[in-house]
Structures are given as C-alpha cells and as structure tokens.
Structure 1
C-alpha cells in the first residue's frame, strides 16, 4: 500500500513526453498518387522538383520499419543542378520564443562523409513559392558536430535546437548552400545522396507542445495525393463556416458555438499540354503551321474564369542548363502573350515559370522521350 501511494504521489512530477509535430516521421505510411493510381511517395511529404519517390525506396531498410527517403545533395558532374528537397507541413504551429529540438537519422552513400544538411522553416509552401526559398532567413545547418549517436548499418542521429519565431508552418530539408558540395558521388551518375529516416520535432521543455487539431491536421495533410501535377498546392485557404445559433428569448447566457473550420473540397485543376511541335525548332517562336492547335486549346477556356493560370516551360536534357532555362521561360512567355492577345484575362493572374529539364515526363535517352519532355503546360487553377 505504501509503495502504491508513493507511486501516485510521484505521478504529477513526471512530465508528459512532447509530441512529435512531424507527420509520418519514418516514411512508413505510403501515398497512392492520384495520377498513377499506385504507391509513389510517403504520406505527408513532398518533393522538389515535382517527382515521385519509388514505391520500394528504402526497403533495404532501417533498423525500424521498411522505408526511408533520400535527398540528392549534389550532382558532381553538374554542380548546382539536380539537387532535390523534401518538405512537410507541421502538424501544429510553433510557439514564439519556445525552444524546439529537431532530430533525424542520416546515412551517406559510398565513401562520402556527412558534410551538412540545411533546414528551412517557412510560413509558405516551398513548392508553390520556390523563388523565395534561397532568400529566406529562417535557415539552420546541421553539421557533423551535431551528431548525437551512431546506429547500426551506417545510420547516424543528428540533433539541432532552435528558438521558434511563431511563423513556422513548413520545414524543408536539403542542401541550400551556394558552394559546390564536396564529395565524389556515385560513379555512374555523379550524385551525392543522403538517406533520411526517423524525423522528429519536439519542444525541448518536455511539454506536449501539441495543438488540439493535431489529428485533424494529419488527416488533411494525408489527403494530398497529387505528386506529379504542377499547380497542386496544400496551402489553399481554408473556409471558415459559422454555425448559426437558434435564438432563445428565455436565455441570455447561451454560449455561441465556435466557428467550425472546414477544409474546402479538393480543387480539380486542368492542365493543357502544348507539345514541342507548336514551336519552331529550338526557338521560342510559335510554328505558324501548327499554331491553330493552340487556338483549339484556347477555345476550351475562353468562357471560363480562373483564380490563376500558370504557364510552365520545359525542355529536354540536351544542352547546358543556362540555355535550357532561358528557352523554357521564353516559350512560356510566348504562350502568355498569345493568351493575353486572345482572352480577356488580366495579365497579373497569368504566371510564367521555366523548369528547364528538371521535370521530365519521359526518358531523355531516346528522341521520342526527349520530344515529350519539350513542352509547355498551361495549368488552370480554379
């Protein structure tokens, strides 16, 4: 009886373990993407460039579970080109002035040692506003000295602590340094790849740090199944719906129900693909012999209204990246001008972007595949 009483007295002194504010930290929950109707990525995680993650990526495993993910830190054959990034939306907002602990397990490939990993905390979705990523200041660097312990099969745990500003909604993980990343990379492709698993974000003080909506936020995050469609974002504004309270003349102290936050139904955006044949060879100018095809596409949208129109230029992998980037954006600008001249849409809702060869839809090893990759996409956002 004395032992039981002592245990009960000690219970209030034990702090609750802080909850992890990262969804799917071990990449075990798998997403079935809408476009391919098959498993293509971990739930709750998104990749830049827009791409799928292999369904069996990481099945060579970790000491816990069957999956992990990877990040291309550098392409030593083409420095600065080919880097990839992972990001996710936090399950709860961080408290301003509070200290948090980020931990993750990393494993490097080949003979390369761990050099660094950057973390970027943003209040905007990284894929939607990629141009702002390098200018953001809420960036931290995990260094070799931040290793906390070694794990089996080459994995190492790293920890980074920081004080929240209260603006953090997303975290992006990858190499954001402008300098060429040191290392040899794989012999065939020259890629320096870091593997990542068991990601965690918790408050340092040991309090739970979780919001009441943590479970709902996770469910909403898992609903985002588009992984190959430009213009699909997870930070669309939520609609606030107030529940009316019946008027009761006999009561004056009836509490008014709090507004219910309801996620809007998934928006189905249309993507119109303009093939390479509509342009003059290796030029930004439209080919007059095939321009009528673009008019056919315009006829489909001329009587509709849209929140935003994004025109995305793409090339194949031949040639250098500077040239391909210039060509992809120039072709997108050509299509924008064509639309403005024929539609009554204001120019400020039509946005152009150039992706060069970073988002292929087919192989660049064949002429047929390269022709598919040379394209301009018109994304109609309702």
Structure 2
C-alpha cells in the first residue's frame, strides 16, 4: 500500500516565516523612514531656530547701541523672536505667545519664561566669556548671548520608537573690533590732536568742533570757538576728493550728502584704509551746502533725512538726538578720516584713523563752516574692513560671534 505525504503543512510553515520576515523588514523600513523624515525635519527647524536666535541677539545689541540698558534690550530681543514666529515656515517655533515673566538670576543672567520653553540671556564685556564670575560694567562694550535649549518639535514617525524631537540654538553678538578700512566716509579730513586724548585721536566726547570750511587753511579767526579739526595745510580747508566723485566742488557736495559715487577711474576702489592715502581738495568748496543740508531736509537726488523730529534744527546735541529716538546709523552722523596734516595744495595725505561726529546744525552759506559734535565710543557703519585690535573710538559694526560654549552663531 502506497503512502502519500501532504505538502500543505510545510507550505504553511514557510508562509508563517514570510510574515515574520515581512514584519521585520517593515519595522526596519519604518525606522529608516523615521530617520529620513524626522531628522530632516529636525535639521530644517534647527536652522530656523538658529536664524531666530541670531536675530534676537542682534536685536539686543542694536538696542544697546541706541542707548538701552542690557536689561531693557531683552524686550526688543523678545519682540524680534515673536516676529520670527509669524514668518512663513516658522509655525513650529513657539515664540509667538504664552510669555509669563522675565526673571533676573544675576547681574548678567536673565531668564524669559514661557509655558513650554525658556530663553536665557547672558551679558558680558567680552564675547569669549560669559558667567557670574566675569566682571561686567554697563558703561563698557556689551555683548549678548541668547540661548534656547530643548525646543520641542512635532514627531511624525520617530515617536513609534519612544523617542522625542527637540532642538537647541545659541548666539553671541556685539561690537566688532575697530575697522581699519571703510568706504562710506565724509569728504573731510581732520588732524590728530593726540595730546588731548590718545584713545580717540585727541577728540573729546560731547565737544563741538569746526571740521571743515573757513576754520581751516590758516583762517581760524573766522571761528566762534577754538575747537577745530585742525589745519591740513596751506590752500586747504579740510576737504578731500573721494573716489567716484570727480575733481569738482559739486563732487564734494554729492559725497557729503551721501549720494552714491559714479564710475571709478583706474586705480580707484572707493575703500579707504588706515595708513593708506587720500587726496586733498583745496579751496572753500561752496558745493557742500545742498548735499550737507540734505541730511536735515528732503533734497531731490539725495537720501531722505531722518524722520521728524530727528531732523529738527532744535536738536543740537547728540544726547538730544538719542533721546528723540535717533541712531548712530542716522543721517545726522558721519564718519570722518583723521589724516596727517602736512599737505600744501592738492596732495595725497596719509589716513591715521577714523572718527564719528554728530551734525548739530545746517551749513550756513555766509559762515561756510561744517560743524560736528564728537561721538565718544564711535559709531556703527554698514560695511568695513575689520581689524584685530579693539579700539576706544571710531567706526565698527554689530556682528555675530562664535559662541564660546557651543560653537554656534
């Protein structure tokens, strides 16, 4: 008698094994999908968070530049974080609401508390050191460090494995070191007066000086005050010829009013470096009247003045200007090169440094003098060639620094 064996049972065993293998493969595929989707999502929002924290740090530094205390600068910074939350693509950032309070932990540390996260603020006079043990003075340069830790994000698949997503970011900002070269300068050269104050080429904060015009070129008797920008030399009234503005007096007026330069001649770059040279523009040069006064009133062809009341002639000191909401980047401030004053006529002179002045009155056609109040501590400019050494005065910019504790920013 023949015996027949059924293969059904063996096929069932194989079918069960396929189900197990398929399940394992599916879990592996889900794992890779979780990594691909959630990690890419996390990287994207990490970048968004970093951009937001960078903006918050810069907002704090700009507020400090405009006269705010470190504590009050946090308000502007938090407002900036709130604005970033409403920007396109930033819906997962939680900075838009649920703000509870700001707690001062120490002289240099604050915590802004929200329902779901916290924003930490640290202040220092050194961008490489932050902490309670680091000496801090409000009167010196202030650097801001902003930190957001463990900001939670929505999980798509990674929660299947019991994992959660969060990102962190930090940023440090503040003044750069002094610039050794810039392009946006006034066509005016003043002399160093180092015997008065070597840290600022001899110029004293809050003091008013006759910078150019009839106070120079051996005509000091025309001035109502002995405080002048010095005398470049015979035939000069402290005016300079800038690249892209030609040789005429109208070029001086265009440059002093902030009009963009024209085409550069061969050898011109429009960038002026300390220890480099710049050419003097002899003569009284009546051209500055229109360009200079465009900083106080609207003149066609020139950048607009500051909004009222900052352009009012009743604001006659830099302190008045700041209290009215003015900025060191405003139209009534300018950067002036300090030059080696030994030129007779149309000659190149060496640039020794740069200083910042507040323009406290219009140009008077009869007086023919440009006046300015020296801004102690310098002023920010949009672009420049950075140096390696900190300086007490002159132009600089507000910038981000590498965070010494996380390597970010």
TM-score range, shorter chain: under 0.3
Greater radius of gyration (CA): 2
- Structure (1/2) with the larger strand percentage: 1
Which has the larger share of helix? 2
